[in-house]
Structure 1
């Protein structure tokens, strides 16, 4: 596979620019010819506003350029408003990223308050049942239509508000649909992300990036090569 110009000499792959926030006011640009952006994630309860603010400030002081905060419920997502407001009040303009799993409604709430939304295509619209079944093409496309119905509102909201998005596949949380058609493979991980990317592009939204996460680095590397 010709995934790079040379296997002997390093050259950075040119990618589309993804704008997170306002670059003139603390925001960053990912991709293109821009430097790699440093991101980290806080570890405290999202409902603890004071702790979230302090950990975010600590990360910024350590050189972090984006800060990710988990938003497992709608209430957590709603509290991002308070976290963002307190940070801006203190002059901290770092872009915030909401980490979403299982809850499309939490993503919709979070998009009101933060600059970027991270979704996991393996569980955004699917509940894992560990069921083995064969999908006909008709059944498979019906599943894709169901996913679009749940994902399109977030895409439209992010486009309207100027938000960025990360479509982040986790090797350990591929949907039953993907596993049954592609297996537990790098191809399945990539296709899991591309299903959501196609929906975003169909709605004219392109301000998103991918991530592939696997405990086995060889699998992760192969995923990025396939992308």
Structure 2
């Protein structure tokens, strides 16, 4: 945990505590039709097994609300105790009132202050939501989003500051909408230790500005996320850039990476990528460990790329495949550092600095076999016919010896 982590109020969500000095939690969201109980349960279980510590699901209408308790029951049967977050827009007050079993089955309710109601109905609907959720001792996330910003708040700011650029109006409107909604909930008697805030935009500098201001003005737990980040590498990079800056400043208690999934391939749900990216962001920032880190050089004219590239790919694939089993059998192995280096220029020392590593001969090297290192000591050359498999065996033996 970062030494400079912002003080925030602990919030219990199901069996998970966020905020305070607790670990920063990984969240994800389903993209199934919630009323399709079978598909939704299958995806929630997959997300949880991948490492999601909370899963959000859309509650669009009555059929979704009716399905939520069924989903909870099925998850219990499957031995999956992940906290569930209901995502409501426009009609939360109606659905929560008509379907109390849905409220009971959820651990947290996400509401959007920009669409709980319009005009005079805004405060009435919002108050009813707070009353219902509060009576069931559930948590609420007040989640503002720039795509559905409260028009009343924006209009007030435009009137107060007609000379401000629209970017500043937007940022301040997001902050004000979030904080005014939180103040309204507290005034209604909703406990601060069941309240989480978020304010998501898709422009990285604006997101940083908004969350820094929220962190200054309140001690409520904060959920991080860059909305509509996109897909593929650009989305991962943008999300990582935003989250890493905030996390290094001690801001954030949970996070979700909002990626448009790739097309499904190899039978794996592409939705799982958002969990892995969250984990990698936290791990790269030194905040949590989930899988062993594999370090490798990029290769250059000194490396033998026909050996180096396949070796790196082999080790990465092996670690990814084994990581979940290792976490269960060998607690602590997720902090392991494994090195695959391509030549002797830096490779020998870099391999030594890892827990276990290999330095390949490279072009023009006096060594003609890969050199194995562990715990800072040379363990000699890998002389077998298949040095890749020899190294994988050495990794397994090392983990079993060190973490058993």
TM-score normalised to structure 2 length: 0.47
- In the alignment, what sits opposite 1:139? none
The answer to which of 149-158 and 33-42 deviates more is 149-158
Query: Are the aligned partners of 1:187 and 1:226 in contact in 2 as well (CA < 8 Å)?
Result: no
The counterpart of 1:117, out of the listed 89, 109, 120, is: 109
- Return the alpha-carbon distance in structure 1 between the equivalents of residues 67 and 126 of structure 2: 22
The answer for the alignment partner of 2:38 in structure 1 is: 50
SS state at 2:104 partner: coil
The structure, 1 or 2, with the larger RCO (C-alpha pairs under 8 Å, 6+ apart) is: 1
Partner of 1:201: 186
Query: How far, CA to CA, are the matches of 1:148 and 1:175 in structure 2?
Result: 12
Name the counterpart of 1:14: 7
Q: Secondary structure at the match of 1:35?
A: coil
Does the Cα contact within 8 Å between 1:40 and 1:68 map onto a contact in 2?
yes
Structure 1 residues 143-179: Cα deviation after superposition (integer angstroms, max 9, x where no partner)? 5x64332112221222221101110110121122122
In 2: Cα distance, 1:217 partner to 1:83 partner: 35
Counterpart of 1:176 in structure 2 is 151
Aligned mates of 1:125, 1:187 — CA distance in 2: 21
CA distance in 2, matches of 1:190, 1:53: 35
Q: Over aligned residues, Cα RMSD in angstroms?
A: 1.7
Q: Deviations over 1:202-227 (max 9, x none)?
A: 12212111111101011111111221
C-alpha contact 1:67 1:96 (8 A) present in aligned 2 = yes
Match of 2:208 among 194, 198, 221: 221
Query: For residue 137 of structure 2, what is the aligned residue in structure 1?
Result: 162
Secondary structure at 1:185's aligned position in 2? helix
Q: Is 1:106 aligned to 2:99, yes or no?
A: no
State the secondary structure of the residue aligned to 1:88.
helix
Shift of 1:198: 1.6
Q: TM-score, normalised by structure 1?
A: 0.81
Of residues 104-113 and 77-86 in structure 1, the stretch that sits farther from structure 2 once superposed is 104-113
- Residues 60 and 89, structure 2, Cα contact 8 Å, conserved in 1: yes
Larger Rg: 2
* Displacement of 1:107: 4.1
CA distance in 2, matches of 1:62, 1:106: 31
Q: For structure 1, which segment, 103-112 or 87-96, has the greater mean C-alpha deviation from structure 2 after superposition? A: 103-112
What are the Cα deviations for residues 122-159 of structure 1, in whole angstroms up to 9, with x where unaligned? 11113xxxxxxxxxxxxxxxx5x643321122212222
1:100–1:107 Cα contact (<8 Å) kept? no
Cα distance in 2 for partners of 1:121, 1:197 equals: 10
Gapped runs of 5+ residues in structure 1?
1-8, 22-26, 127-142
Q: C-alpha displacement at 1:92, in angstroms? A: 0.9
CA contact (8 A) 2:96 2:132 kept: no
Q: Give the count of matched residue pairs.
A: 197
Partner of 1:132: none
Inter-partner Cα distance in structure 2 for 1:19 and 1:51: 28
Asked if residue 151 in structure 1 is aligned to residue 138 in structure 2, the reply is no
Given that 1:170 and 1:213 are in contact with CA atoms closer than 8 Å, whether structure 2 keeps it comes out as: yes
Give, in whole Å, the separation in 2 of the partners of 1:194 and 1:125. 17
Moved more, 186-195 or 39-48: 186-195
* Aligned partner (choices 30, 35, 53) of residue 65 of structure 1: 53
2:24 aligns to what SS in structure 1? Answer: coil
Task: Tell me which stretches of 4 or more aligned residues in structure 1 moved more than 4 Å.
Answer: none
SS in 1 for 2:87: strand
CA distance in 2: counterparts of 1:58 and 1:155, whole angstroms = 31
